């Protein structure tokens, strides 16, 4: 850190170039220190500036190794956006190097990623660096500044009051409309919603979650359930109905995952292939397995050489069973011809990471 390289909202971080030639991406990690603690450099870092939490490290920027000289003296908190991904769907996908807080203490860290975005090099945390307190103008400040401040404050209050009024009015109108529950029939009057800025997304989610997730449920109810031009013959087949958790959430014949090696000859599992940004049919979306479809689930994982499963539901939500536990709590468990063994389980605040081996 260079003397004089610290302001109320920025810190100049002088980086060290990694000698490992496999490093393709540099990431800058920021930790706002809470109670003087220092995090393990090997802790998994998944947060960004927009969803940062005091006491938890977050990624503030990343850039390609070939651009190291350009970013060697890196200004943390300059408000710019840097992202080393080769292709981005939209500008909002950039990583924001947001401003630091005045009068706060930070530690900084650099790390290196390979072509597959695996962390292969990690530097050391810096010593604690404190940003100066915000300077309050003295009592003799020009009255013009005071007048401008008062005017701005009044305008801001008017805008806030007007915004709250419009929001409450809109919500009252929405609540007066007939509401279709998420488990009900399709709502064919779907309209795309407004664009939400990343800086406003956290507050947007808080509003959606109010009143027992009322607005979340309302948005979900507006998603079209069916495309009349596509068939679902296999999902609706009598022999396969017991494999569907819900009779109104089925997979289309054209995009369903087809099992290859089921000894019974039944090739059905309630799962569909989804296109990715750079590759067609890059992902699989599956229902939460039932007790009688756990073998089908692991067969699908095995046949598609799946390395990562992201579970976005709980086993039980709102007193409703949403998914059968399809993995062993400890040791190994057999699912038909497949043996699944739990190797490691890491429980974090918001999610759990489990590592398995699967053998046939």
> In this predicted model, what pLDDT tens digit does every residue of 317-345 receive, in sequence order?
888 999 999 999 999 999 999 999 999 99
Report field, pTM of the whole predicted structure over 0.75: no
Q: Which CATH class is domain 233-359?
A: alpha beta
Fold type of domain 6-131: Immunoglobulin-like (2.60.40)
Higher pLDDT, 153 or 139: 153
Percent of all residues in the chain with a pLDDT value above 70, rounded to a whole number: 84
In the predicted structure, residue 178 carries a pLDDT above the cut 60 = no
Please enumerate, as own/partner, the contacts of 52-56 that have beta carbons within 8 Å and a separation of 24 or more: 55/31, 56/31
The pLDDT score that the predictor gives to residue 180 is 42
Q: Count of residues for the chain?
A: 360
Read off the tokens for 28. 């800058």
Lowest mean pLDDT, pick from 30-39, 88-97, 200-209, 329-338: 88-97
Q: Which band of pLDDT confidence, cut at 50, 70 and 90, is reported for residue 124?
A: very high
Q: Mean pLDDT of all residues in the chain?
A: 84
Q: Would you kindly state where each structural domain of the chain is located, as residue ranges?
A: 6-131, 233-359
In the predicted structure, residue 360 carries a pLDDT above the cut 80 = yes
């Amino acid at each position: 850190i260079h003397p004089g390289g610290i302001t109320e909202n920025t810190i100049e971080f002088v980086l060290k170039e990694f000698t490992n030639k496999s490093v393709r991406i540099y990431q800058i990690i920021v930790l706002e220190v809470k109670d003087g603690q220092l995090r393990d450099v090997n802790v998994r870092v998944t947060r960004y500036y927009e969803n940062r939490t005091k006491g938890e490290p977050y990624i503030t920027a990343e850039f390609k190794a070939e651009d190291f000289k350009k970013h060697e003296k890196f200004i943390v908190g300059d408000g710019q956006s840097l992202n080393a991904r080769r292709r981005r769907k939209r500008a909002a996908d950039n990583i924001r190097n947001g401003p630091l807080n005045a009068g706060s203490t930070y530690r900084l860290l650099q790390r290196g990623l390979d072509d597959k975005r695996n962390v292969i090099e990690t530097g050391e945390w810096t010593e604690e660096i404190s940003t100066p307190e915000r300077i309050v103008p003295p009592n003799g400040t020009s009255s013009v500044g005071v007048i401008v401040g008062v005017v701005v404050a009044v305008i801001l209050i008017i805008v806030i009051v007007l915004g709250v009024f419009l929001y409450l009015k809109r919500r009252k109108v929405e609540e007066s409309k007939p509401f279709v529950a998420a488990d009900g029939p399709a709502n064919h009057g779907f309209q795309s919603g407004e664009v939400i800025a990343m800086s406003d997304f956290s507050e947007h989610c808080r509003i959606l979650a109010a009143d027992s997730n009322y607005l979340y449920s309302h948005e979900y109810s507006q998603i079209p359930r069916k495309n009349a031009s596509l068939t679902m013959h296999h999902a609706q087949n009598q022999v396969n109905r017991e494999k569907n958790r819900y009779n109104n959430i089925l997979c289309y014949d054209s995009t369903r995952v087809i099992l290859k090696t089921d000894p019974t000859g039944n090739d059905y599992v309630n799962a569909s292939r989804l296109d990715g940004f750079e590759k067609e049919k890059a992902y699989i979306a599956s229902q939460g397995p039932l007790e009688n479809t756990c073998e089908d689930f692991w067969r699908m994982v095995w046949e598609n050489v799946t390395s990562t499963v992201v579970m976005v539901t709980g086993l039980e939500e709102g007193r409703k069973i949403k998914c059968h536990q399809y993995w062993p709590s400890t040791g190994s468990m057999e699912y038909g011809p497949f043996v699944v063994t739990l190797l490691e389980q890491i429980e974090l605040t918001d999610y759990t990471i489990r590592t398995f081996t699967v053998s046939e």
